[in-house]
């Protein structure tokens, strides 16, 4: 069965979400709120709290038993509330969360992003699936004139990858089955394990040459640059014939 569609993750797959951009956002937060703290120290404290949200937001063994859904903006506001309280800072958590959401909508594309998308779209359907709020990704897509009719966010679906449900919803909207679909992403749990658990073929974009986790479902193929994808898709087609 040939590959008829490719679903792309967005951040750190098509658009660079490197820590350096977060540091700049925290510099802006400290400047606008006149916070007497080093921005990187604020980031370190906030990130430790934010990570607990990512860890606990989805029950991997039983997604239906997960906690009530929270957007990133809500979770990040709560993380700023705790951070400011712990550090005795008179900050504005709501403004800080909104600045973080806005900055995520201004991430730069990788040099090979648009050429790869164009090449893939000539032969197959394309969709996008990301753990992100609508506000961030809509701003990003508007900035680069990317059609958003096949854009699926965690906020839209009210749950997060790696819940198989989100992958199934995208496939259903494409009018295809899992065997006809490839998912491309950078994270081992949310993207690769999630896609494989939903029955998709998974391509891991591993720019930093990380080691795979043997306790998780494994990628079908691995690339280090996005522009390797077109050849990989042709290879997958050959294998499936």
Q: How many CA atoms lie within 13 A of 38 on its CB side?
A: 4
pLDDT at 240: 72
Averages of pLDDT over runs of 10 residues in the chain (241 residues) are 94 98 98 97 97 94 93 98 98 98 98 98 97 98 95 98 98 97 98 98 97 96 97 88 70
Please answer whether residues 126 and 6 qualify as being in contact, where contact means their C-beta atoms are separated by less than 8 angstroms: yes
Cα separations (Å) of 112 from 19, 119, 139, 143, 146? 20, 11, 20, 17, 15
pLDDT at 1: 73
b (16+ CB within 10 A) / e for 196-234 = bbbebbbbbbbeeeeeeeeeebebbbbbeebebbbebbe
Q: Is the peptide bond before 198 cis (omega within 30 degrees of 0)?
A: no
What's the pTM value of the predicted model, to 2 decimals? 0.96
pLDDT at 237: 86
Q: What CATH code would you report for 5-16+109-240?
A: 3.40.50.1000
């Amino acid at each position: 069965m040939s590959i008829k569609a490719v679903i792309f993750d967005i951040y750190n797959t098509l658009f660079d979400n490197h820590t350096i951009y977060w540091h700049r956002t925290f510099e802006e937060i400290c400047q606008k709120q006149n916070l007497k703290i080093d921005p990187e120290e604020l980031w370190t404290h906030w990130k430790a709290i934010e990570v607990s949200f990512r860890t606990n937001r989805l029950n991997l063994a039983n997604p239906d038993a997960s906690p009530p859904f929270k957007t990133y903006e809500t979770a990040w506001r709560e993380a700023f509330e705790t951070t400011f309280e712990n550090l005795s800072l008179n900050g504005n958590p709501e403004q800080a969360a909104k600045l973080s959401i806005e900055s995520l909508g201004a991430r730069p594309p990788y040099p090979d992003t648009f050429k790869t998308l164009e090449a893939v779209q000539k032969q197959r359907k394309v969709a996008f699936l990301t753990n992100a709020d609508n506000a961030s990704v809509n701003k990003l897509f508007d900035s680069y004139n990317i059609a958003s009719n096949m854009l699926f966010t965690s906020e839209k679906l009210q749950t997060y990858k790696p819940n198989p449900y989100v992958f199934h919803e995208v496939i259903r909207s494409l009018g295809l089955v899992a065997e006809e679909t490839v998912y491309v992403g950078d994270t081992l749990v949310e993207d690769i394990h999630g896609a494989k658990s939903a029955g998709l073929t998974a391509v891991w974009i591993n720019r930093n040459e990380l080691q795979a986790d043997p306790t998780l479902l494994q990628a079908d193929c691995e690339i280090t640059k996005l522009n390797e994808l077109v050849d990989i898709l042709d290879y997958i087609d050959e294998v499936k014939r």
